[in-house]
Structure 1
Amino acid sequence: MLLRAVEKFLREYSIPATRFGRESVRDPRLVFDLRRGREPGDRMRRRVEHFMNTYRRSIGQ
């Protein structure tokens, strides 16, 4: 589930939800909407996953 992965990522890297949404898909409300049941499409899911993977690589983990 995407929301679970995002929540774990936010805790692990201490990133605010609005910053995560803005940097990953240009939507500062993304995480809040996911928490309220929003189901992202495949394209958005891929963009979020790509952002998390790229961020992890950029800090050496």
Structure 2
Amino acid sequence: MTLLTKIDLYLRRTGMPPSTFGRRAVKDPRLVGDLKRGRVPGPRLAARVDAFIARTK
């Protein structure tokens, strides 16, 4: 499963806006939009996002 897919599922499940997710997860409110436009996340960023999702389930 791609990082963007994980984020989309989380956003649907929680109702959190994409900018809020980016700000809370990695202090980047543009994260989700950038990923949708083709930004390729590095392993550290992906790990931070995964950790945020795991801790806020």
* Shared fold, TM over 0.5: yes
Partner of 1:11 in structure 2?
A: 12
- Any stretches of 5+ residues in structure 1 without a counterpart? 57-61
Distance 1:34 1:7 in 2: 11
TM-score by structure 2 length?
0.96
- Equivalence for 1:30: 31
Instruction: State the distance in 1 between where 2:40 and 2:52 align.
Output: 18
Deviation at 1:16, TM superposition (A): 0.3
Any unmatched runs of 5+ in structure 2?
none
What CA RMSD, in Å, does the superposition of the two structures yield over aligned residues?
0.4
Shift of 1:5: 0.7
| Percent identical | 45
Instruction: Write the distance in 2 (CA, Å) between the matches of 1:53 and 1:4.
Output: 15
Residue number in structure 2 paired with 1:41: 42
1:59 equivalent in structure 2:
none
Deviant stretches of 4+, over 4 Å: none
Structure exhibiting the larger radius of gyration computed from Cα positions: 1
**How many Å separate the matches in 2 of 1:39 and 1:6?**
14
Aligned residues: 56
